Amino acid sequence: MIVYQLLNIIIFIVGLIAVLYLLFRLFAWHQGDARFVIEARRRQPFALKSLTAGTAVFETEVPFKNIGKQLGTIMDFYPRTLLPYEQYDKVIVHSQLANKAAERNDGYWESVIINPGESGRIRVTIELVSKEGTIREDLKTFPDMPIDLVYQVVSRSEWYIHKARITLKASEVKRAMEQA
């Protein structure tokens, strides 16, 4: 008899913990989290910002938004250009990214809190430096260059690193150089 009573108590406790856990999970699901979307498709066309005999600088702006239910912090944000020498070997690529709401020119991303529903813009700057000092000539054969926009987020959940991709297209470079 005592064994059955003890068993009932244990089952009750285990059941209670399970119910509380499920309620907590339900609460957490309802509470939600920050969720960032980098709207790569809505980026502005790359524009030629400066041109010298050896260097061409292109810029674009990319919108982003926190579509989640909670505020979140973008701790870091940086560009990663992907142009292997096997594909194209005439220029050296430098890239930089800045928060339009807190402009700075050192490539440092200052951690920023983004509220739910809040949006912002980043400025991506690509500097192409000709190895021979003949940038106009070199860029005639410039290929499409993917650029990963890598960002680190922390909010109510674990920190994570995601990336979105934009492309500096050969057609954009060609058009900009023709107009310069």
Partner 1 sequence: MAELELVPVKTRILTDKDDIVDVIEEYAKDIVGPDDIVCSAESVVAITQHRYTRPEELTPTWQCRLMRRFVPGEGSMASLYGMQAAMNLEGEWKMLFWFIIGFLAKLVGKNGVWYAKCRQASLTDDVTGTMPPFDKCIVYGPDKPDEVAEAIKKRMGCYGACVADVNDLKRSAVLGHSRGLNPKEIARILINNPFGNASQKTPIVVIKNYAQAVREQKSETAAKENN
| Count of residues of this chain found to bind partner 1 when the rule CB under 8 A is applied | 20
Applying CB under 8 A, among 8, 31, 44, 87 the residue interacting with partner 1 is 31
Q: Is 159 in the site for partner 1 (CB under 8 A)?
A: yes
Q: Is 73 in the site for partner 1 (CB under 8 A)?
A: yes
- Whichever of 60 and 66 has its CB closer to partner 1, that residue is 66
Residues 6+ apart with CB under 8 A from 177: 48, 51, 56, 136, 139, 140
Q: Is 23 in the site for partner 1 (CB under 8 A)?
A: no
Phi-psi region of 29 (alpha: psi -120 to 50; beta: other; left: phi over 0): alpha
- Whichever of 130 and 155 has its CB closer to partner 1, that residue is 155
Q: What is the DSSP string of 69-115?
A: SS-EEEEEEEEEE---TTT--SEEEEEEEEEGGG--SSSPPPPEEE-
- Whichever of 19 and 28 has its CB closer to partner 1, that residue is 28
Applying CB under 8 A, among 156, 169, 174, 175 the residue interacting with partner 1 is 156
Using the Cα atoms of residue 38, residue 44, residue 47 and residue 49 in order, give the sign of their dihedral. negative
Q: Is 158 in the site for partner 1 (CB under 8 A)?
A: yes
Given the rule CB under 8 A, which residues bind partner 1?
A: 24, 27-28, 31, 70-71, 73, 75-76, 108, 110-113, 154-159
